[in-house]
Structure 1
Amino acid sequence: MVQGELNTSNPSGPLTHRTYNKDRDRENFAKMVVVCGLPFSFGEHPGFIAYIRDTYNPSFKGLSRSMVKRDIFEFQEKHCQYLRAYFEIMDCRVAITTDMGRSPNGFDYLTVTAHWTDYNWNLQKRIIGYKICQKKKTGMYIATTVLEILDFFGLCDKVISITLDNASANLNAINMLETRLCPISKYAFHVRCAAHILNLVVSDGVKLFENSCDKVDNACFYIFHMNSSSRINQFKELCNACKLPFRKVLKHVKTRWNSFYEMLEVAYTYKEPITMQFNSHNAYPEFKLNDSDWDEVNELRNF
């Protein structure tokens, strides 16, 4: 299929012809699915098929989920081969960062990212590994997984530093990686994760207000994060009574210090409806919210 295309640099000029390429279309669609977080079945959705037929291509038949999945893995493989070739001729060192996380369905995963400066002195970074942890996250397992990823991309002799937090398993992994990677400087090889250290500092500081903060945290969890529509509806009614727009309070993520402050910031704004609802369902006086609790929250919020 050949489509006329207007040259934006010369709107008054003639139309140029652009030939439709099915392989390019499938690759671009696979990229869109990944970037936008769409389901693999999006390509066969009736609404999407109707949109493409009415707007671009009347003969479009859709893309099956198996086809989209296959295209995504083929594009990933192609991009990995490109990175391997790029790293092979690259004559600089790379800094490696790792991140341990847990998905909503309970799977632990390890992400490895490479950072380097290209020939134009632009900072580049690419995720080169995303592995589901099939075993317990010991130092041996972490070191072995990172080495497998680095070896696949030919980076074992080009690593200048690795960023890991201060967990004991990570410290053991660093000792093993030092032996294998032979860094320029052992003192600069292990970069402590600043975000993890900051989170530890904030967590220690919050302990001074632990009683009040725990009460507010428990109240927000009880109202917003126990999948109870009746509690949400009651909170909406209390917001209307207090002349406040309805808004949920975000869940406190213990590994993200700023999420705690975001939770307190919103909770303090809605302290009246939160206090009324939580205290009405709480039979224990020592666990009920009071003005002194909110005063401490406000002091910490303004810190």
Structure 2
Amino acid sequence: MTLRRSVRATVMVALGIALLLGPATTAASAMPHLHSDDGQRAAQADDSAPAAPTGLQASYDPAAQSTTVSWDPNTEPDLAGYRLYRRLAESEEWTLVSGATPLTATFTTDPLPPTGDVYAYAVRAVDQAGNESEGSYDWYIETPDTSPPSVPADLTARGTTAGNTVRWHASSDHVDHYEVWAAPAGGQDLDGPDEVRGTAYTDPRAPQDVAVTYTVEAVDTSGQRSGVSAAVNATRPAPGTAPKPSALRARHDGNGVLISWDGHSGDMGQSYRVYAQYPDPYAWSLLATSYPRNGEVRIPEAGGLFYVVSVDDESRESAPVYVGAY
């Protein structure tokens, strides 16, 4: 009798608790238990990049001086837009040209000057989490060359016993060559310009002790001309009193080119200067100064044509003595 009363009391308590808590507790007790790793997976950021765009095409409009680029749309539901990149064909570095905000359309225009350059375009998709796709295949555009080169600037000129050397800064825009004009100061160049592929030139025909005026003009690959530079003057000096170097020799020694010569007796205060057609093959450049005690100098270059001059007490150079090492 006591056992039945105890079971009945237990059942009554349980029913009372259920009635007191109501149906919400009953429903909650039926929900599945959420493990903590499920919550972490739900909160994990999206790190999956969109697919690379396809169907890229581009065309250049010379009148508008701009490129129109289009591509096929991506299908990702979380797509934020596209980014357009451009690079020079000879460069590996891409430049973002579509701005910081992704493009929502599948076409855009990009202004380009008509300089004759070749450019590559590529487009990448980006999603709302900031993941960027691989680039599309490259599409190349060549602009027409309708812009002449800039005028050569910052000309300098120096006279040596081997001739007058003129140097200048390179012009822009696909220079094919430069034309160097030389005339006695106040006169005209009657035999026309010399064609030069670099940015320096030595005039071996310059007369001694006569001031010569030099100007330079750039010509691009389309034949367009820059206009004539500002003029510079140089005077080729007559050789000084120091005797020329003798027994000039040049040889490769594994560390460059060793140039040596015989010093003159009684000239221990005399120095020598070594010139080479380097780094510009169209002009002589001073490479080193040496003294008769060693009578040699090592040039860390692969080879080429050199000349050596003696220098007297008034810093005047002798006539040049040439030597080659190839």
**What TM-score do the two structures reach when normalised by structure 1?**
0.25
Q: Which has the larger radius of gyration?
A: 2
Q: Relative contact order (C-alpha < 8 Å, sep 6+): which is higher?
A: 2
**What TM-score do the two structures reach when normalised by structure 2?**
0.24
Q: Which structure shows the bigger proportion of residues in helix conformation?
A: 1
Q: Which structure shows the bigger proportion of residues in strand conformation?
A: 2
